[in-house]
Amino acid sequence: MKKIVLLGVCGFALFCGCKSAPEYREAAFNFDFPVPENIRPILYRGADFQGKPTEVFAWLGVPENCKGKVPGIVLIHGGGGTAFLRWVEEWTKRGYAAIAVDTVGCRPLLRWEAGKGVRERLANGGPDYPSAPRDIDNPADAWTTQALEALYRGHSILRSLPEVDPERTAVYGISWGGYLTCWAAAADPRYKAAVSLYGCGFLKQSPRTVAKVVTPGWFDLFDPALVLEEVHCPILFVTQPVDADYQWDSWCRSTFLPEKPSRSVPGLIGHSHTRGLRKEAEVFIDSVLKGTPGLPEMGEISRKGSVVSAEFRAGVLPVTGELWWTCDDKSVPAGKRQWKSAPAEISGNTVSGKLPDGAKDWFLNVKDSRGVTATALRPHYE
């Protein structure tokens, strides 16, 4: 009931009966880069914005020489981005059908590499990122609502392809796209797996988000913490402990809300679109949709004196362990805390390490032979 109240009030397609795939057409744009034959630029109808119809740009691709039904994935860019051809290229090479959806009413002009891409607004595109007064006064015109409509409809297009197994689809977003992933996984139960890179809830703790949104009432309607408990598919959260956009404490709290969470904190990984093709995401999604060995399954951290430990289960056994800690408390902004790391011991199915004096927060990592990291957190974050 809570999900219908929180999500249905914004008019998402899931609750207004728009369950068939929308029609789409190939976009007649010129690009300054080659587009593989197995990937198409498309336009499709989005939600009405300010009483007028909108169109959404997306890249839609299937694997070359596709045989039989394949899994599918919806890919969501972050702030300053647009639909990324490269992401679709990489996932189709891995045997997935993929759709990369622009969520800000734009389309790419140049190939997006290392943040140097250029985009332009569509003549009838939807809103560009949150605008607190507009979003609060008319939730149906809010960027979050409009973007989720675009994603829901793009997901429907992907599932309608004859090459796609509609019962094996995932969603993967970075930064603002990770924010949307949290909402999409709650609003659209057709997904079987989700990965959020950086994105989380409890955003009032993020000075950058507060500065962008300004109006406190926005968080009461559009913070993912409102709906993360409604995410019932397996979901992987990936971040770095010093992320300035999605604060560490907010991220940790968020990861305890869904039914089936996994976590990966591979260290100080930076925050940019170039970080969007992560091995952890690939392994996690493959494990759910293809049945391959997944990330090590980590339990919560326990502590005895200065020794902290966590148990794990794994299809591919971890080969190294790592303890991360900070001696900075919450008076220091999360993005400025100093974190250090040291090797942790693996014995049987347990990873453990000794905390130094003065440690205020910590987490434990294991890394397996594929080079992917899984993380155990302390059990309580307030």
Q: 31-40, 158-167, 256-265: lowest mean pLDDT where?
A: 31-40
What is the predicted pLDDT for the residue at 112? 58
Count of C-beta atoms within a 10 Å radius of residue 256: 15
Residue 318 phi/psi, 5-degree rounding, is: -60, 150
Spell out the residues 6+ positions from residue 161 whose beta carbon is closer than 8 angstroms to its own: 60, 62, 72, 97
| CATH no. of 298-377 | 2.60.40
pLDDT band at 2 (very low <50, low <70, confident <90, very high): very low
CB 178 within 8 A of CB 77: no
Q: Where are the domains of the chain?
A: 2-292, 298-377
Residue 345 phi/psi, 5-degree rounding, is: -90, 135
Say whether pLDDT at 17 is over 60: no
Say whether pLDDT at 200 is over 90: yes
What is the predicted pLDDT for the residue at 381? 66
What is the predicted pLDDT for the residue at 66? 84
Spell out the residues 6+ positions from residue 79 whose beta carbon is closer than 8 angstroms to its own: 129, 175, 176
What is the predicted pLDDT for the residue at 334? 87
Torsion of CA 343, 344, 345, 349, to 10 degrees: -130
What is the predicted pLDDT for the residue at 207? 74
Whole-prediction pTM value? 0.93
The H or E element that residue 145 is part of is helix 143-160
Query: Does residue 311 or residue 8 have the better pLDDT?
Result: 311
Q: What angle do CA 317, 73, 11 make, to 5 degrees?
A: 125
What is the predicted pLDDT for the residue at 131? 83
Say whether pLDDT at 213 is over 90: no
Determine the Cα–Cα distance for residues 89 and 109; give it in Å rounded to an integer: 17
What is the predicted pLDDT for the residue at 18? 53
**CATH classification of 2-292, choosing from 3.40.50.1820, 3.30.1490.480, 3.40.30.10, 3.90.1150.10?**
3.40.50.1820
